[in-house]
Amino acid sequence: MAKIELKHISKKFKDETVIEDLNLTIKDGSFTVLVGPSGCGKSTTLRMVAGLEKQSSGEIWIDGKCVNDTPPGLRDVAMVFQNYALYPTMTVRGNIEFGLKNRGIPRSEREKLIQDISEIVGLTPHLNKKPQHLSGGQRQRVALARAMVKKPKVFILDEPLSNLDAKLRNQMRTELIQLHKRLGTTFVYVTHDQVEAMSMGDEIVVMNKGVIQQADSPMKLYHDPSNRFTAEFIGTPAMNMINRSDVHGLDIQTNASIGCVGFRPEQALLGGNAADEGFVIEGKILTRESLGAEHIYQIQAQAGIFFVKTFLTPVETAEHVKVTVPHEHLYYFGRSGERLRGIQAGTKSLIAAGGI
């Protein structure tokens, strides 16, 4: 296990700054997920930790040692890539064993390691097969096994499940969580899929344009976002945002710092379930999506399109509806996207611009 510290890290590609003054501590033994849209710098950050990219400035520390000038092979880091990078002419056994041979590990020790790791990842029946005869999930397990036999202090996984179908991806997520618990090693995982991040990580780092927006536990990110970007990125459907100009009420008019008001789709009360006081919006139902236990409505209001998620009996016939969000479930954001805390909405309702 190992703690990872990134201190004032910057990365430039020619004249383009991809990451600027990034500071991050990844806890020893944690399952930390870097998440964000394409091009946000998460994979570049991962590659710098692994030593595959050289930072333009700053320091990288692994297990209490500065590794700025340490080559990738000596950082005690194992990396699992999106494309698995298996040797097609070698069997599963050969792929797992290859790195051990290069390190001069005795044959008897190699055999024991391969046997133990194969049992953990469920590859024992497939050791004599070549990659082309394996399923996508089995190939991913080979890539994991090849990393595991090194017994590294840090596992780095760069979107390792993106090539798998939805069902297999869900299965592999569960297996990776169980594997992390069993090994107790530091896992650093990169994904653009916020659902994957929320279900796997015990610590999530949200990035955008090379800047950390927030680093917190999954539930902290969801219920207590620090800014508008995190609030809208985490959650499906995303948090609804209503611009200040489309909200009427004394509370909004007297607070010039408010840029917009947000609320989670599941915190909105629809139609007859509406509360007496809160943020009131009227609109027209555009679409209804039933997902079994939950129902998602897309609603068009004068203030824009927003979503409501309910776990109650679906509204089958209504076209025009009133939606109310209790005051305690409202989020306020400044004009630059920063979270504004401590705002008391009072007892009067806030009203969105007239319904459609």
pLDDT tens across 170-203, in order?
Answer: 888 888 898 899 889 999 999 988 889 999 999 9
Which CATH number do you get for residue 219?
A: 3.40.50.300
| Full DSSP string of 18-33 | EEEEEEEEEPTT-EEE
State whether 49 and 77 are in the same domain. yes
List the helix and strand counts (H, then E) for the chain.
9, 21
State whether 252 and 192 are in the same domain. no
Contacts of 143 (CB under 8 A, 6+ apart): 80, 81, 84, 85, 86, 160
Q: What is the pLDDT of residue 250?
A: 57
Q: Which of 229, 253, 283 is the last residue of a domain?
A: 229
Which CATH number do you get for residue 321?
A: 2.40.50.140
State whether 170 and 57 are in the same domain. yes
Q: Which of 229, 261, 281 is the last residue of a domain?
A: 229
Look at residue 227 and give its three-state secondary structure: strand
pTM, full prediction: 0.88
Q: Are strands 31-35 and 57-62 parallel, antiparallel or unpaired?
A: unpaired
State whether 188 and 85 are in the same domain. yes
State whether 214 and 289 are in the same domain. no
State whether 72 and 89 are in the same domain. yes
283: which strand partners?
321
* Domains of the chain: total: 2
State whether 223 and 247 are in the same domain. no
Q: What is the pLDDT of residue 122?
A: 87
Q: What is the pLDDT of residue 235?
A: 92
State the virtual CA torsion across 182, 184, 190, 193 in degrees, nearest 10.
50
State whether 216 and 81 are in the same domain. yes
Taking 70 as the pLDDT cut, the residues of the chain under it are 1, 250-254, 272-276, 314-318, 344-349, 353-356
Sign of the CA dihedral running 46, 48, 50, 52: positive
Instruction: List the domain range (segments joined by +) for residue 342.
Output: 237-352
CB 167 within 8 A of CB 135: no
